[in-house]
Amino acid sequence: MERYNTREREAHWQAVWQREAAFEAAELPDRPKYYVLEMFPYPSGRIHMGHVRNYTIGDVIARYKRARGFNVLHPMGWDAFGLPAENAAIERKVHPREWTFENIATMRQQLKSMGLSLDWSREFATCQPEYYEQQQKLFLAFLGQGLAYRRKSWVNWDPVDQTVLANEQVIDGRGWRSGAPVERRKLEQWFFRITRYADELLQAIETLERWPEKVRTMQRNWIGRSTGAKVRFRLADREEWIEVFTTRPDTLFGASFLALSPQHPLSAALAEHSPELASFLEECASLGTSEAAIEQAPKLGFDTGLEVLHPYLPEMRLPVYVANFVLVEYGTGAIFGCPAHDQRDLDFARRYALPVIPVVAPADQDEETRAHYVRHLAEEASEAYDGPGVVINSHFLNDLEVEAAKRAAIERLEQLGEGEGEVQYRLRDWGVSRQRYWGCPIPVVHCAGCGVVPVPEEQLPVTLPDDIDLGKGGNALEHHPTWKHVDCPECGAPALRDCDTMDTFVDSSWYFARFCSPFAEQPVDAAAARYWLPVDQYIGGIEHAVLHLLYSRFFMRAMKDCDLIDLEEPFSSLFTQGMVVHETYADEKGAWLSPAEVVVGGGKAETKDGRPVTIGRIEKMSKSKKNVVDTDHIIASYGADTARWFMLSDSPPDRDLVWSEAGIEGAWRFNNRVWRLAKSPERSMAAAGTPMPDGAKEGESGTLLRQLHRTVEGVTQDLERFHFNRAVARVHEYVNALTSLKAEDEAAAWVRRFGVETLVRLIGPMMPHLGEELWEALGGEGLLCDQPWPEADPVFLVEDTITLAVQMNGKLRATIEVPSDADKETAERLALADESVQRHLADQTPRRVIVVPGRVVNIVV
RNA sequence: GCCCGUGUGGCGGAACUGGUAGACGCGCACGACUCAAAAUCGUGUUCCUUCGGGAGUGGGGGUUCGAUUCCCUCCACGGGCACCA
């Protein structure tokens, strides 16, 4: 039997699409646009199954929207700066640029073999000077607006590699590469003022209706808005104040101490005159920052000997501690401790024998219970009470509910001038400086006389030097003999370039906007951006739920404030797909085995030479567990369409997809089945373009026609809702019906031909190569990718008769055929007349009959 | 600890707004074709059953004529955040 040669035919159609420039987009103002984008890949080496899934989903949407008449933009590029390139350079002695572009070449080829409807004419890599020049312009624009600024900040410092580490690069308090204990250092760093938009970014989450609720929640939590008060505690004996932030001003009368962060400026100042404090601060700095270390670390403090005055009770004095659990980054870096109603404060108070003063009690306690509650909490409890209730022991706040007490407390603070209501965010400004070579250079010069001087626009781009020695560790740009030495653009005196590069998240925060006009002389061309943006459908992994997606939202606002774009929200609809996972295999010694080394069948597995294999957990594909399936191998064996079909068929796209050999085999069978169905001559010959014969609506042909239109309707709905697995199931059902159409008359021949043509149109977005192949075989005009989407004819969506379920007391007893327009009385009469119903009814009289037209008849006895 | 998800056959999963649970696929079994195998096609496949039925969507309870769907509660798994004052 003739077989479908995927390798040859898929390559053929890819070449045709390329030759015809089928997917190159242009701005066509009279047509509705649709911008679909998948998160662009980091060129790490090769495409993995996660990419295949991501780009398959995006391509289905792109091709479907194109068929629906949209002017589709579907571009691709490379997130090409980053640490792995530098590591490869060190390990393999290749230049990061060379390594990166080799990977890009490989991965581009792999993506092309998937048959994606991408506009390759817009391709760029973020490491190209043409791209990062524009990014440097953005940086300078931000600088001009006060959105980029410089300040000293605490960083994770790797003393061996001589570099700053991101939080994610610190594992159990040690540098991820050097293994050396990480130090806290204060360095001059560049920041983007994302906090300026904290409230706006939070508010606007409500408008992102087509984003997953999960992502919206994560962003809300990340921004972390909390309302409370700033309170000034005056130091006894000095005209100085310590500011604290609290969300519980209602518990101020329960305060028994103040605590400063070890990094609080006052802590450092005091340590200058106190060796004991200095050594305590050192101890705090050396403590691990890992989760485990934090969990186990006791609450330690150092009594500074200072005292502050209570803002409401000037006669009351509170001791000031430095405490290891107070974060410098949040609030003011200082807290007041209310042990009765905060667990951490209670732990601390018990350790240092500080007073515990209950000031909130659960409402509706009788006198005795309350007395017991207060005594217990004050004297022995190890758990603080942070529940609701009424305020006690608190002068003017007494008997108020907690929320009312907060308002009253703030009001009094403001009257006294000792504080005011305030909103705090967890969100901090975005530190973008990286002491790395392979990134976008920060376009400023440091001049002894003029300070920080922006590089003038005509001198951009500030390009990375090629002759670089990455072997020395630390910042290679810093070590470069000549690169950093320039004349100050303002005064002409010898000056130094900023040797830091930008965080790679900067590169990905605006690339989607650049795709609208990838070769423009400014970051974005206003007309192109106005036409294409926002991205209508963005697709990617949940791992970017916060950083990338939040930074991009920030960037659009920042660019808007620089008059570079007129947009706030970059992505109107977001879809986060699940991971591709696979069984893990281990041999008798516990060593991991790759799927290629294992033969699986009937729930058992062994190696190819017959040794026993243990089937382990299903996990994300990873090199370390060896449960990786090679994409090239799959595409070479089964073709891209089969891989795509399988990606869509088994699981809903937002859940994890279990890759299985059996699953891909099933998709392969279906691929061939459709090919044979459409290729068999008796099905494709007759009836092209002729009007529907009279008899087609009757009998077997009529049944198939109705199913055809139902399928079109259903698949359309499914694709709109990202229910690809259901669309696949529907197409399966439809193919089953189409194959079993037995009639041989003229009407059947016509329906068969029309049925196959419709099938080809429906599978086009999902299996595009096979679609083109069969479109051609059917004698279709032009390319399938330019054909309109089939329309369901409502006439065929209504049935003459419907099946009605008949229940007795909610249990199914029969099904009956009734005319689809039958009224309640008819349905009830037919149901009661049913033989099976009569048998179950015996002598009983129905007490009640509920008829839901079109659904069910329930007889209650 | 707090905040989200998710629990349905041997497996992946369907079931729109409370109305025939298990669509479709995988796997398995049997059959057809074949000298044989592969491929292909067909039939069956939730469990129990005395073949009348009965049970069943993580467990328990509730609302309803009727619950996978709504409410309460507990359990398991997954994810996010986490000394955030």
Nucleic strand B near CB of residue A389 (< 7 Å): no
A492-534 confidence digits (pLDDT tens): 999 999 999 999 999 999 999 999 999 999 999 999 999 999 9
Q: For B54, which residue's CA is nearest its C1'?
A: A811
Placement of tokens 């890949």 in the chain: A41
Q: Is the CB of A301 under 7 A from strand B?
A: no
- Determine if residue A705 is left, alpha or beta; phi over 0 gives left, psi from -120 to 50 gives alpha, anything else beta: alpha
Asked if residue A765 has pLDDT above 70, the reply is: yes
Structure tokens at A413: 């603070």
Q: Which amino acid is at A378?
A: A
Per-residue confidence (pLDDT) for residue A247, from 0 to 100: 92
Cα A566 to Cα A200, A513, A563, distances in angstroms: 16, 11, 7
**pLDDT (tens digit per residue) in A254-275:** 999 999 999 899 999 999 999 9
Cβ of A151 less than 7 A from strand B:
no
Average pLDDT on A551-558 reads 95
The distance (Å) linking the CA of A767 with the C1' of B19 is: 37
Percent of chain A scoring above 90 in pLDDT: 59
> pLDDT at position A291, please?
46
Q: What proportion of chain A, given as a percentage, has pLDDT over 70?
A: 95
Q: Identify the weakest region by mean pLDDT among A21-30, A244-253, A800-809.
A: A800-809
- Given this model, what pLDDT does residue A318 score? 95
Q: Is ipTM > 0.85 here?
A: yes
- The per-residue pLDDT for A184 is 75
Do the Cβ atoms of A222 and A426 come closer than 8 Å?
yes
* Helical segments of A226-342, H only: 265-271, 275-286, 291-296
Please give the Cα distance from A779 to A685 (Å, whole number): 9
Q: Phi, psi at residue A495, to the nearest 5°?
A: -145, 180
- Strand B-contacting residues in A 807-826, CB cut-off 7 angstroms: 807, 809-812, 815
* Closest C1' nucleotide to A730's CA: B24
* Identity at A627, one-letter amino acid code: N
- As a whole number of Å, the CA-based R_g of chain A is 34
- A502 strand-pairing partners: A433
Whether any strand B atom is under 7 angstroms from the Cβ of A437: the reply reads no
Task: Identify how many contiguous H helices and E strands chain A contains and give both numbers.
Answer: 28, 35
- Taking the stretch 306-325 of protein chain A, residues with Cβ within 7 Å of any atom in nucleic acid chain B are 324-325
Measured distance CA(A539)–CA(A547) in Å, rounded: 15
Nucleotides of B under 7 A from a protein CB: 3-5, 10-16, 19-21, 23-28, 39-42, 53-55, 65-67, 79-85
User: Residue A74 — φ and ψ, nearest 5°?
Assistant: -140, 85
- Does A387 contact strand B, using a CB cutoff of 7 Å? no
Rounded Cα–Cα distance for residues A398 and A622 (Å): 60
A425-460: buried (b, 16+ CB within 10 Å) or exposed (e) per residue? bebebbbbbbbbbbbbbbbbbbbeeeeebbbeeeeb
* A294 nearest nt, CA–C1': B83
pLDDT digits (tens, 9 = 90+) for A355-374: 999 999 988 888 999 999 99
- CA A94/CA A84 separation, integer angstroms: 12
Residue A351 beta carbon within 7 A of nucleic strand B: no
| Three-state SS at A602 | coil
Q: What is the pLDDT of residues A646-678, one digit of tens each?
A: 999 988 999 888 888 888 999 999 999 999 888
Q: Which run of H or of E encompasses A504? A: helix A504-507
The residues of A between 533 and 562 with beta carbon within 7 Å of nucleic strand B are: 542, 545-546
If you average pLDDT over every residue of chain A, what do you get? 89
**pLDDT tens track for A88-104:** 888 888 999 999 999 99
